[in-house]
Chains A and B, each alone.
Chain A
Amino acid sequence: MLYRTAGQFKTTYEADHALFPVRQDAILLGIILVVAWVVLPLTANEFAFKALLVPVLIYTLAALGLNILTGYAGQLSLGTGAFMGVGAYACYKIITIFPEVNLLVAIAMSGFFSAAVGVAFGVPSLRIKGFYLAIATLAAQFFLVWLFEKWAWLYNYSASGAIQVPTIEMFGVVVAGPNAKAITQYYFVLAVVTVVTMLAINITRGRIGRIWKSVRDMDIAAELVGINLMKAKLSAFFVSSYIVGIAGALFVFLWRGAAEPNLFDIPLSFRVLFIVIIGGLGSILGNYLGAMLIVALPVVLSYLPGALGIPVSSSMVEHLNTMVVGALIIFFLIVEPHGLARFWAVLREKLIIWPFPH
């Protein structure tokens, strides 16, 4: 009943090509946008911004980048953490060399650095596939983290080897650094994530997205119908690493405030990959769902014993948390191997005929 599409006639080509051709989807999106842009900022406190909302958005963005490469173009990558690092260090260098540059511009520019690095490490994808490619991107992971540690110019020769975000203003408002308000940072991240998501939806459903999908599904067939594999694969690496790089810059500048090289090590890559797999390969919505499960759920769960009045020590909560989240991941993958996005799709199918199943 809720998702009945009967009676929604498309009379023009424009209407048929709309981003959300089903009216209920558009309404739902509207509600989500209102919640994200108006309701949450009015209700959330600083902790919710810093520990839940901002990290979920940033991880979503990183997962979106990886999903374009792995979910849409079918190229497995284990170097996401390092590409995020390239974005973060590039942004740090831009900001420290040219302090007058607008942060938004700096972040957009830093994406190009990680895109270039991503394309360079994507070249092996022209010859190798699957697990072999994963190993090649793993090389990027090890090499880049090593570089972040050894190339002192990258962190301005600071003794600790870590980068620190200075106070940055944009149009008279402090957006990054210790003096920035959590709500400003939330809006900044939300704006970037909203714009990039819009672009990603449009790219993936258009000509380029279809090329990627055909390469993913069968590259020989794609080549036979006249698709240039080199262009397709490298463009996927470019777009993916660009988005991942932006996510990395936001990760350090709008959330963490400081970063040491091993932050970008392999656990981060795996974390983003988990989000993509649990959220759903080849889905934009899945990134959001996956990030909520992997990033926000543990934080929320750690409040549970306290809210229920069960006295447990904080280290025990941490152990329980790991177990619960691990169990949930396995549960979801067994129930719906195609990820949470597919879960939502099934739910949506059911809602069409609900509550009269016959």
Chain B
Amino acid sequence: MKRLAKTALLASGLALAAAFAAPAFAQDAINLPNLSYRTGPFAATGIPLMNGQRDYIAMLNARDGGVNGVTINYEECETGYNTEKGVECYEKTKAGAAVTQPWSTGITLQVLPKSNVDKIAVLAPGYGFSPMADGKTFKWAFNPPSSYWDGASMILQNISQGNLDSLKGKKIALLHLDHPYGKEPIPLLEALAAKHGFTFLPIPVGLKEMQNQSAQWLQIRREKPDFVLMWGWGAMNAGAITEAVKTKYPMNQFIGIWWSSLDGDLKLVGDAGKGYRAVSWSVPNSASKAMQDIKKHVVDAGKSMINQAEGEFDWVFYQRGVLISMMSVEAIKAAQAKFNVKVPNAEQVRWGLENLDINEAKLAELGMEGMIVPFKTSCADHTGHGGAWMLEWDGKQFVKASDLIKPDRAAIEPLEIEKAKEYATANAPWPLNDECK
């Protein structure tokens, strides 16, 4: 008992010392921290995304020995989607980080103001705050290749066959998580509803009601909207899709954002979910060269954490994770080439993110043809606005169901600039990046 107590004391003393001492980092490797969440209520959606990111880096390290001969340290810090853990993880991983990925709109909001001070770029692919597209205001934040407002605009264009005025008199409901993330598209949808004369009906789902949405679907049955859009995450997606099947809401009028396209959620309903669509900037392609290399070097080598029995390898989310890691790696490559260094620092990687040019030729070179929308970032445009495709559930998997859709930038841009300005004044003094026009 006494020895046990002594050992415990020694161990906690050691850990305390480790926590207090500044973390040391090897300078011959690039650190890519990721504030992951494999636990908590959103773990179902988090795990495949994190696996994809992890496996792409593992594949590069195994196949090419890293990026241009420099190994990449992919390091996860578990947040459980909890904003409190998020602060802790950000502080823990920021030293020596090439870029940081906050992975929740709540944590992004906390990290965003710090990024100006700590000079670390925040990569939030396809999530976070839509006005982050304005690179002049948000020098250190990136959300390629499409923002939530782009997503909302693209869904409306798809359901109206490109003519938003044809929606006049129709009723469009937004089933959303009652959380900063779910509220994101509301300002744009309200503005578009006023402009094009459709009725907009937001239906919030509280964090506590994610698994039991009978009240929300009762409202949908009563109101009979022509379309239901969904901004759902984690357990909410599965709840909504099973409720939709139960209430027999026509699946072809039910459209989700890219985070509502988890294969596992639709597998629960199988054929009954046929016709459900989700707008997505990525498409899975397991036959592509990059994916086959991951299979060879990581999955078959037994180094992956994916659930092979469930077929996670083919999932939209797993392959989207791969593409997200591709973005950070391409930014690092760009920085290496521009500044002629082996291990670019966070400021140089920021330049790389600002000059990402993911075009068809580049994708062919990477062995990822057709897996992600082509996009190009710039000093003033931190999103790239590459557009998206519609994915449709065919009963077994998601398949591409449309040509490339582009957001109506003319309608979104003024709102982006206005909200970015609002953010900057609310957080004054906020540094603007005067290098770009």
Residue positions of A touching B, CB distance < 8 A: 43-48, 50-52, 55, 96, 149, 156, 158-162, 164, 166-167, 177-179, 255-260, 262-263, 265, 299-301, 303-304, 306-308, 313-315, 317-319
From A166, A259, A265, A301, name the one whose CB has the most chain B CB atoms within 10 angstroms: A166
Contact A303 B113 (CB under 8 A): no
- Is B171 in contact with chain A by the CB < 8 A criterion? no
- Is B242 in contact with chain A by the CB < 8 A criterion? no
Contact B39 A319 (CB under 8 A): yes
Contact B207 A43 (CB under 8 A): no
Q: Given A167-B429, A178-B114, are A308 and B14 neighbors across the interface (CB < 8 Å)?
A: yes
Contact B116 A304 (CB under 8 A): no
Contact B21 A162 (CB under 8 A): no
Contact B179 A260 (CB under 8 A): yes
Contact A315 B117 (CB under 8 A): no
Contact A300 B87 (CB under 8 A): no
Contact A308 B39 (CB under 8 A): no
Contact B109 A160 (CB under 8 A): yes
Beyond the given A158-B426, A164-B113, A313-B76, please list 4 additional residue pairs across the A-B interface where CB-CB is below 8 A. Answer: A51-B19, A149-B178, A167-B429, A303-B16
Query: What residues of chain A lie closer than 8 Å to B187, measured between beta carbons?
Result: 159
Indicate which residue in B14, B427, B429 contacts A164 across the interface (CB closer than 8 Å): B427
12 contacts between A and B (CB under 8 A): A44-B20, A48-B19, A51-B19, A55-B84, A160-B109, A162-B106, A162-B180, A178-B113, A303-B16, A308-B14, A313-B76, A319-B39
Contact B21 A50 (CB under 8 A): no
Q: Given A50-B88, A315-B78, A318-B80, are A307 and B15 neighbors across the interface (CB < 8 Å)?
A: yes
Contact B87 A162 (CB under 8 A): no
- Is B92 in contact with chain A by the CB < 8 A criterion? yes
Q: Given A255-B87, A315-B78, are A260 and B14 neighbors across the interface (CB < 8 Å)?
A: no
Contact B15 A304 (CB under 8 A): yes
- Is B184 in contact with chain A by the CB < 8 A criterion? yes
Residue positions of B touching A, CB distance < 8 A: 11-12, 14-23, 36, 38-39, 75-78, 80, 83-84, 87-88, 91-92, 105-106, 109-110, 113-114, 116-117, 129, 178-180, 183-184, 186-187, 207, 305, 419, 422, 426-429
Query: What residues of chain B lie closer than 8 Å to A161, measured between beta carbons?
Result: 179-180, 183
Query: What residues of chain B lie closer than 8 Å to A43, measured between beta carbons?
Result: 20
Contact B76 A314 (CB under 8 A): yes
Q: How far is the CA of A260 from the CA of B39 in the complex (A)?
A: 21
Contact A160 B88 (CB under 8 A): no
Query: What residues of chain A lie closer than 8 Å to B110, measured between beta carbons?
Result: 256-258
Query: What residues of chain B lie closer than 8 Å to A55, measured between beta carbons?
Result: 84
Contact B419 A159 (CB under 8 A): yes
Query: What residues of chain B lie closer than 8 Å to A52, measured between beta carbons?
Result: 19
Q: How far is the CA of A314 from the CA of B88 in the complex (A)?
A: 13
Indicate which residue in B92, B186, B207 contacts A159 across the interface (CB closer than 8 Å): B186
- Closest A residue to B50 using CB positions: A315
Q: Is the interface of A mostly helix, strand, loop or mixed?
A: helix
Query: What residues of chain A lie closer than 8 Å to B38, measured between beta carbons?
Result: 315, 318
B327 to chain A minimum Cβ distance, whole angstroms, is 22
Contact A315 B106 (CB under 8 A): no
From A263, A299, A300, A315, name the one whose CB has the most chain B CB atoms within 10 angstroms: A315
Indicate which residue in A96, A260, A306 contacts B18 across the interface (CB closer than 8 Å): A306
Query: What residues of chain B lie closer than 8 Å to A96, measured between beta carbons?
Result: 426
- Closest A residue to B92 using CB positions: A47
From A43, A255, A318, name the one whose CB has the most chain B CB atoms within 10 angstroms: A318
Query: What residues of chain A lie closer than 8 Å to B427, measured between beta carbons?
Result: 164, 166-167, 177-178
Query: What residues of chain A lie closer than 8 Å to B83, measured between beta carbons?
Result: 256, 258-260, 263
Query: What residues of chain A lie closer than 8 Å to B129, measured between beta carbons?
Result: 160
Contact B39 A315 (CB under 8 A): yes
Query: What residues of chain B lie closer than 8 Å to A319, measured between beta carbons?
Result: 39
Query: What residues of chain A lie closer than 8 Å to B87, measured between beta carbons?
Result: 50-51, 255-257
Q: How far is the CA of A301 from the CA of B80 in the complex (A)?
A: 16
Contact B91 A51 (CB under 8 A): yes
Contact B11 A50 (CB under 8 A): no
- Closest A residue to B131 using CB positions: A159
Indicate which residue in B78, B109, B184, B426 contacts A314 across the interface (CB closer than 8 Å): B78
Contact A46 B91 (CB under 8 A): yes
Contact B76 A315 (CB under 8 A): yes
Q: How far is the CA of A202 from the CA of B11 in the complex (A)?
A: 38
Query: What residues of chain A lie closer than 8 Å to B20, measured between beta carbons?
Result: 43-45, 48
Q: Given A45-B20, A48-B20, are A260 and B15 neighbors across the interface (CB < 8 Å)?
A: no
Query: What residues of chain A lie closer than 8 Å to B186, measured between beta carbons?
Result: 159
- Closest B residue to A157 using CB positions: B422
Contact A307 B18 (CB under 8 A): yes
Query: What residues of chain A lie closer than 8 Å to B75, measured between beta carbons?
Result: 314
- Closest A residue to B16 using CB positions: A300
Q: Given A47-B92, A257-B113, are A300 and B180 neighbors across the interface (CB < 8 Å)?
A: no
Q: Given A48-B20, A300-B15, A307-B15, are A262 and B207 neighbors across the interface (CB < 8 Å)?
A: yes
Contact A314 B77 (CB under 8 A): yes
The 7 closest A-B pairs by CB, nearest first: A178-B113, A315-B38, A160-B180, A307-B18, A318-B78, A304-B15, A51-B88
A191 to chain B minimum Cβ distance, whole angstroms, is 22
Q: How far is the CA of A199 from the CA of B423 in the complex (A)?
A: 39
Query: What residues of chain A lie closer than 8 Å to B109, measured between beta carbons?
Result: 160, 162, 164, 258, 260
Q: How far is the CA of A299 from the CA of B88 in the complex (A)?
A: 8
A158 to chain B minimum Cβ distance, whole angstroms, is 7
A177 to chain B minimum Cβ distance, whole angstroms, is 7
Query: What residues of chain A lie closer than 8 Å to B19, measured between beta carbons?
Result: 47-48, 51-52, 299-300, 303
Q: Given A47-B92, A164-B113, are A260 and B180 neighbors across the interface (CB < 8 Å)?
A: yes
- Closest B residue to A40 using CB positions: B20
- Closest A residue to B23 using CB positions: A47
Query: What residues of chain A lie closer than 8 Å to B180, measured between beta carbons?
Result: 160-162, 260
- Closest A residue to B425 using CB positions: A166
B81 to chain A minimum Cβ distance, whole angstroms, is 11
Q: How far is the CA of A14 from the CA of B402 in the complex (A)?
A: 85
Q: How far is the CA of A325 from the CA of B234 in the complex (A)?
A: 26
Q: How far is the CA of A248 from the CA of B80 in the complex (A)?
A: 22
Query: What residues of chain B lie closer than 8 Å to A162, measured between beta carbons?
Result: 106, 109, 180
A305 to chain B minimum Cβ distance, whole angstroms, is 9
Indicate which residue in A166, A178, A303 contacts B426 across the interface (CB closer than 8 Å): A166
B126 to chain A minimum Cβ distance, whole angstroms, is 17
Contact A317 B78 (CB under 8 A): yes
A25 to chain B minimum Cβ distance, whole angstroms, is 24
- Closest A residue to B11 using CB positions: A304
B23 to chain A minimum Cβ distance, whole angstroms, is 8
- Closest A residue to B188 using CB positions: A159
Query: What residues of chain A lie closer than 8 Å to B114, measured between beta carbons?
Result: 178, 257
Q: How far is the CA of A55 from the CA of B179 in the complex (A)?
A: 24
Q: Given A149-B178, A263-B83, A300-B15, are A160 and B76 neighbors across the interface (CB < 8 Å)?
A: no
Query: What residues of chain A lie closer than 8 Å to B11, measured between beta carbons?
Result: 304, 308
Query: What residues of chain A lie closer than 8 Å to B426, measured between beta carbons?
Result: 96, 156, 158, 164, 166
Query: What residues of chain B lie closer than 8 Å to A259, measured between beta carbons?
Result: 83
- Closest B residue to A180 using CB positions: B117
Query: What residues of chain A lie closer than 8 Å to B22, measured between beta carbons?
Result: 45
